Chain A
């Protein structure tokens, strides 16, 4: 079930009609959240509920055993990691790993078809598997590290793990942030309701107005269905994709946060206008924050972070970024995407160029955005050949037929709108009088109203959220 569907609207209404009745008692609250989340997930494919159940049960039991059995802690954690990462590997990486093995064997003249031997069920990628696996892993690791007490109530645990607003596309919620929130219920205040409405409206606006309207233009270009070509054309396509993926994923996170807020819970911010970052390092503190901090806390810092010398820091950065690339997808393109970020990040660290140019902030923002956009080409491309071909077109000048602006007017219009919104947010943050004007005249009321009207009358063709595939 996706947030921008009629089914979800009905689900949402029924859920919030029943929520005030069931929220008062722990058991009924947890049971209700777990059941509703199961229905939400089963709408896509009920069979994969067993996978969440499997992953969850292992971590729930591991959590209890970790406290009871201090001596065997490492074995229990190892078992939990093996089970979680094992199921992730089977469903997400079996084809990719088989391809790598085949490619390596081909070099030594051994031809073997491993992909055909993968069972059919393992070829289906369960929606949101990367999200709930990481969420489940953080629970066990935090208990292992002594930072979290396990819950003994299985419904409490599953209402955390399967919480529907963030189950399939994040944000990745930490047990240490959320289990205690689930232990109580809160009556939502008027200001919280208003903030929740804003989050949901702005999230839907980002998804169905900006991202969905850009998708036809981008898909037809990447699927070779467009007759247009040339340097300017591919720059516009690449920039459009930067805005599509941002608005798609940020939109989902905003809706998830808004729904949680209406239930009386708080999810941390997942996107903070990443394209306004004035360094690539800052970009990573603003993009998919729940994943970046997950990698920081469970991979980068345990590897020494930046405290154990330059080489160790570089090694930790490479490993973290490559794992982040692989988390996003099982393809060489994601590894190149991550590698480009490593190169740009390391160059930034060595030269400290954003700091040296800090008087020219808008210029730095544009340069960072260009770096990110170039890397996104690898993220979106079907394969390395296509990505390299597009990069070639971006940098080796070839004249474009400008008619594409007219052909794709109905799509590119929403790119202008997306850029305009980011620029206005930049100006609002930078110049206090604009912010004061916004606050004084209650422009948020106008923003919400216009967003709703745009959602109703300017929504694009319904598309799945891009991050469902991760």
Chain B
């Protein structure tokens, strides 16, 4: 075969193999490009919103923003701006504020406060920084090229050769929510890692005071702030209350005194798949619930 024909033959073989793989295995499980694009859009898209939902993974997995929007009587826009291990530092709250539509009549922050989100470690906001500090090329790739790049999503040998089903189900929805669940739920799974985490560091006054100061600053600007403690399992709540240094009653009172609307939820009304995060049906339920309470309180005119 001549070199020219070899080049042509290789090209044709690649096209055929590409089509065969895409027919046989349409969706790679890893979805790395799609995931990156999800986070990049969340962080770098210029769109402004009426409602910003903030918090850590219990929020970005556990709060379906669309269900909130659909249950508010007024037509509002919103995004779930939760990040992995996010902490309510000034930097994070300023970033959330930058996503609010300053010209809108209704501007609202919904804060899902977990014990971990008020720790020194969470205040580093490494999850947010990973995406905030990306280079321009990576950002543009995530914002504009992801529809094309999704066809080149890499596979893992395990899913290709063993056809093994993954236990973790997660769907990266528009507007920042990750609908999550396990095929086989394990409601005690997260306890060990949380025990380990809170043995290393706890909630301290420094972080709590900094958070409360910032909340006051925001509420004086006329922005509606709603806060809640994301529901989880009873065992997790007991563990966190006993070893994290988090005092829910104190935080609640201090926030209410700063014009924050505090919402209480019963853990037993919701379902967790790993002992920490909410099942996607519960994530929808809690968002609907928040929407209904906003309507009752007549916060949006």
Contact = CB atoms under 8 A, between A and B. Distances in A.
A459 interface: yes
Contacts of A409: 157-158
B156 A442 contact: no
B137 A442 contact: no
B10 A449 contact: yes
Contact of A410 (B10, B28, B158): B158
Interface string B89-100: 000000000000
Interface stretch (B14-22, B71-79, B114-122): B14-22
Contacts of B14: 449, 452-453
Nearest to A457: B155
Contact of B137 (A7, A189, A190, A452): A7
A452 B15 CA distance: 10
Most buried by B among A414, A444, A445: A445
Given A197-B7, A458-B154, A449 B1 contact: no
Nearest to B32: A461
Contacts of B7: 190, 193-194, 197
A413 to B, nearest CB: 4
Contacts of A7: 137
B3 A448 contact: no
A446 interface: yes
Nearest to B17: A453
Contact of B18 (A197, A413, A456): A456
Interface string A247-286: 0000000000000000000000000000000000000000
A452 B9 CA distance: 13
Contacts of B3: 189-191, 193-194
Contacts of A413: 157-158, 161
Interface SS, B side: helix
Interface size class of B (residues with CB under 8 A): 20 to 34
Given A197-B7, A456-B152, A445 B1 contact: yes
Contact of A453 (B1, B2, B18): B18
Given A190-B2, A190-B3, A453-B17, A459 B10 contact: no
Nearest to A442: B1
Contacts of B34: none
Counting chain A CB atoms within 10 Å of each CB, the highest count among B152, B154, B158 belongs to B154
A452 B14 CA distance: 7
B203 to A, nearest CB: 26
A445 B6 contact: yes
8 contacts: A6-B141, A194-B3, A194-B4, A410-B156, A445-B10, A450-B17, A457-B28, A458-B157
Given A410-B157, A456-B154, 13 more contacts: A190-B2, A190-B3, A190-B7, A410-B156, A413-B157, A442-B1, A442-B6, A445-B13, A449-B13, A453-B17, A453-B21, A456-B18, A457-B21
Interface of A: 5-7, 189-191, 193-194, 197, 409-410, 413-414, 442, 444-446, 448-450, 452-453, 456-461
